[in-house]
Amino acid sequence: MKDNSRRGFMGKAFGGVAAVGAVASLFAMKKSWDPLPSVKAAGFTTLDMSGYKENELVTEKWRGKPIFVLKYTSEMIAAMDESQKPRIISVGEASYLVTLGLCTHLGCIPSYEKDNKSFLCACHGGTYDIVGNVTKSPPPRALDIPPFTIKGNTLVLGEVGPEYLEMKKNGLTL
């Protein structure tokens, strides 16, 4: 009787250890199936555009690079001239600047001058306007627009959509 209960206890104990081991090895296997962080970073980034505040620059990340997202106010759009408007990205009712946050001169990260509604690159004094066009050299071209597509209220960075193709065709980005 005593022996039997001892055997029962040992059986349960071994069973418990085996179950924990099985869960641990399943977890390890799942981990090995998941893409490496570097592969994830090389893919797409989906931005929910409903969370941005007007005239507040947010820096997102895509493929390890900073991405500027700036939601325009209606006053900012009204102040733009016609040559600036083709760089606007519209998602639903709202309008945005979405560019790489890297200066096209030597790759520094420009800062957003909220009051002047412009970007300043402190490395060599280059400036950009509210849509990312160069207003003072040395940057050789406007801030680059990453490949994107619009899906409902989201913007998928890394996926080429018709709006991006149109911008590229018109020479608005590389």
- Contact footprint for ligand FES (CB under 6 A): 103, 105-106, 108, 121, 123-124, 126, 138-139
- The nearest distance, CB 60 to ligand FES, in angstroms, is 20
- The nearest distance, CB 106 to ligand FES, in angstroms, is 4
Give the angle 39-44-46 at the CA atoms, nearest 5°.
135
Structure token digits, residue 109? 């990260």
- The nearest distance, CB 101 to ligand FES, in angstroms, is 11
Comparing CB distances to ligand FES, the nearer of 94 and 141 is 141
Give me the amino acid identity at 164: Y
Comparing CB distances to ligand FES, the nearer of 13 and 106 is 106
Helix H or strand E encompassing 22: helix 2-33
Comparing CB distances to ligand FES, the nearer of 97 and 102 is 102
Is residue 72 within 8 Å of 54, Cβ to Cβ? yes
